[in-house]
Structure formats: structure tokens, C-alpha cells
């Protein structure tokens, strides 16, 4: 089974990478980009029957810094 974890900075947390991308897009002539938030996607190959609770535990303990990041699990 496969799972995809989407990790993003929480609202209110500064995103310097996103701001750098927004600035670069403006420099390239792409007007109208008012904000960019950058995140990551983690794809997991898991044994069949792995519970979503186990995947959430993986996220809480390692894959996401839950102080400043939120995550969403997608079982494929």
C-alpha cells in the first residue's frame, strides 16, 4: 500500500523559501503572485494493512515538526 503525506508550514509561520520563490517569480515578470507557501510531499511504501493511526504516529514523531508544520495523510 502507498501513502502520501503533505506537509506545510502552519498559518502564521514565516516561510522564507516561499517568499524567495515569490520574489523570483516577480523578477521573472510574473506579476500578481501575492504569496507562496512551500511544503513537501513524502511518499511511503507500506505493508498492506498499515493503519492510518500508524502513519499519523510516523508524522508526529519524525515526518513533520508539528510545532510549526501541519500534515495531511492520503492513503493511495
Sorted by where each begins, the domain ranges of the chain are: 2-75
CA dist., res. 34 & res. 37, Å (int): 11
Query: pLDDT (tens digit, 0 to 9) for every residue of the chain, 76 residues total?
Result: 999 999 999 999 999 999 999 999 999 999 999 999 999 999 999 999 999 999 999 999 999 999 999 999 999 9
- The secondary structure of 33-44, three-state, reads CCCCCCCEEEEE
- Residues with Cβ within 8 Å of residue 76, at least 6 apart in sequence: 1, 2, 3, 4
CA dist., res. 42 & res. 39, Å (int): 10
In this prediction, residue 54 carries a pLDDT of 96
Task: Pinpoint the alpha helices (H) of the chain.
Answer: 16-27, 52-58
CATH architecture designation of domain 2-75? 2-Layer Sandwich (3.30)
User: C-alpha cell of 70?
Assistant: 501541519
Please tell me the pTM assigned to this model. 0.84
Amino acid at each position: 500500500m502507498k501513502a502520501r503525506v503533505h506537509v506545510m508550514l502552519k498559518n502564521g509561520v514565516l516561510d522564507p523559501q516561499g517568499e524567495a520563490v515569490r520574489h523570483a517569480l516577480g523578477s521573472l515578470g510574473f506579476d500578481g503572485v501575492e504569496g507562496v507557501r512551500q511544503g513537501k510531499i513524502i511518499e511511503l511504501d507500506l505493508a498492506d494493512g498499515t493503519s492510518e493511526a500508524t502513519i499519523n504516529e510516523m508524522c508526529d514523531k519524525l515526518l513533520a515538526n508539528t510545532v510549526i508544520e501541519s500534515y495531511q495523510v492520503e492513503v493511495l
